[in-house]
Homo-oligomer: A and B are copies of this chain.
């Protein structure tokens, strides 16, 4: 399989990206190939400088870069020779099996939604985030911003896609699904949550445990936590500040270190037919390595095939 990497995306690209590639290739014994997408001259110099072993990578030239601040749709349309646009061309034409980037998030989303098909049966793809649990475990929260308004059927699909991801990638057996809500009892909530509850309750593909509240998000109550992308995005960005504030206030505690979402390496777009992983703009070498590993694991475990199956 071939994993394409946007070498130019992110605040520390390409210098940290190449280090991540090197770390991955040094530690991984699989036969997957990396397609390094970026400016050929620069990349050729970088692989030599870092003595990246030959044989498991190829360089794919891209003469443009979509900058972090550019308008996603406009940039993708106008910069057809950018590393992000070319990455999606590789995916769409079958020359790559997965694509990762820490570049312009909006452009990655637009590219994924418009150049790659959705998994059969998916109404709308979703993006998730891991959530560090108080007991040391890891949950998954979704949607975290791709779908600000949702229908109950979408939340029901997020529950399925999140469960497959939790099981195959996070290694959680029979993951417990909780519907994020303002009260515990069935019947509580806004109109969306009220209408979603019965769908989740009837859903044979998931292990639904009922409503969970804001106070349950960091506890061990549920592994897969489902909500629309408005609430999820506010929650995630709030949670991210806990790491920053704890640093600024010099609170030294390993738990708050786990709110540094950069360490998790990136979040996949779930529901598109090929693995697409989006990294934080501030990704460094380890984050890039982890992003490649997530894409690899998604391919090897056939996460998207399993999602398709469960969504039928």
Contact = CB atoms under 8 A, between A and B. Distances in A.
Interface of A: 134, 145, 148-149, 180, 182, 189-191, 193, 213-215, 217-219, 227-231, 233-242, 245, 248-249, 251, 253, 255-256
Contacts of A217: 234, 238, 241
A242 B238 CA distance: 12
B253 A190 contact: no
17 contacts: A134-B245, A148-B191, A149-B191, A182-B229, A190-B230, A193-B230, A215-B237, A215-B238, A218-B241, A227-B234, A230-B231, A231-B234, A235-B238, A242-B242, A245-B255, A251-B251, A251-B255
A253 B242 contact: no
B248 A251 contact: no
Q: Most chain-B CB neighbours within 10 Å: which of A182, A193, A249, A255?
A: A182
Contacts of A236: 214
Given A148-B191, A180-B234, A218-B238, 17 more contacts: A134-B245, A145-B182, A149-B191, A182-B229, A182-B230, A182-B234, A190-B228, A190-B230, A214-B233, A214-B235, A214-B237, A214-B240, A218-B241, A218-B245, A230-B231, A238-B238, A251-B255
Contacts of A134: 245, 248-249
A253 B251 CA distance: 7
B249 A237 contact: no
A213 to B, nearest CB: 5
Nearest to A249: B255
